[in-house]
């Protein structure tokens, strides 16, 4: 799995350097009843409208640990947000992942607070299991390259629903 993380980071870096893209690294921690989740995400804007994104996540639960790896590509617009499609690899399962992200100022353009909402839908290839998740953040731009954020994460899978607090840090380079 470490090879996958390094490969993802190198691919995003190489693609973004060749097109002088903006990169965002994001770290999020979510806590649930009996579980926690740590996400590391690299996003590169290849053009004004084309985005690639890679995520590596570590889940720690009362029944054991699990890792997942996502690679996605898609379209970004100022008006409609970001829409991505890709693949999620988790243990022995592989699935089709759809993601949308909406982000904008929270209290006006001149205030450093922002709202960030990400919704994901996953359909596993080798089973009839579907999962949905939603992260809602309120963030604060410390400067033009660093932001902190906090909010709630909600997950629905196999008829079970969980939600809990989420905290994150973003850096752009």
User: CB–CB of 25/12 below 8 Å?
Assistant: no
Domains of the chain: 2-172 (2.40.160)
pLDDT in tens, 64-98: 778 889 999 999 998 889 999 999 998 778 899 99
pLDDT in tens, 147-156: 999 999 999 9
- pTM exceeding the 0.85 threshold for the entire prediction: no
What does the alpha-carbon distance between residue 107 and residue 27 come to, in Å, rounded to a whole number?
A: 24
The set of long-range contacts for 65-69, using a CB threshold of 8 Å and a minimum separation of 24, is 66/90, 66/91, 67/1, 67/91, 69/1, 69/4, 69/5, 69/8
What does the alpha-carbon distance between residue 67 and residue 65 come to, in Å, rounded to a whole number?
A: 7
């Amino acid at each position: 799995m470490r090879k996958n993380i390094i490969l993802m980071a190198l691919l995003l870096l190489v693609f973004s350097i060749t097109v002088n893209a903006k990169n965002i690294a994001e770290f999020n921690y979510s806590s649930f009843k009996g579980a926690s989740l740590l996400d590391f995400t690299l996003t590169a804007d290849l053009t004004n409208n084309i985005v690639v994104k890679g995520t590596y996540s570590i889940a720690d639960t009362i029944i054991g640990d699990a890792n997942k790896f996502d690679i996605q590509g898609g379209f970004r617009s100022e008006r409609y947000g970001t829409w991505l499609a890709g693949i999620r690899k988790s243990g022995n399962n592989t699935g089709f992942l759809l993601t949308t992200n909406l982000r904008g100022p929270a209290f006006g353009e001149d205030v450093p607070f922002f709202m960030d909402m990400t919704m994901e839908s996953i359909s596993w290839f080798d089973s009839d299991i579907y999962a949905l998740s939603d992260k809602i953040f309120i963030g604060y731009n410390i400067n033009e390259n660093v932001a902190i954020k906090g909010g709630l994460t909600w997950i629905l899978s196999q008829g079970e629903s969980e939600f809990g607090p989420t905290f994150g840090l973003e850096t752009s380079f």
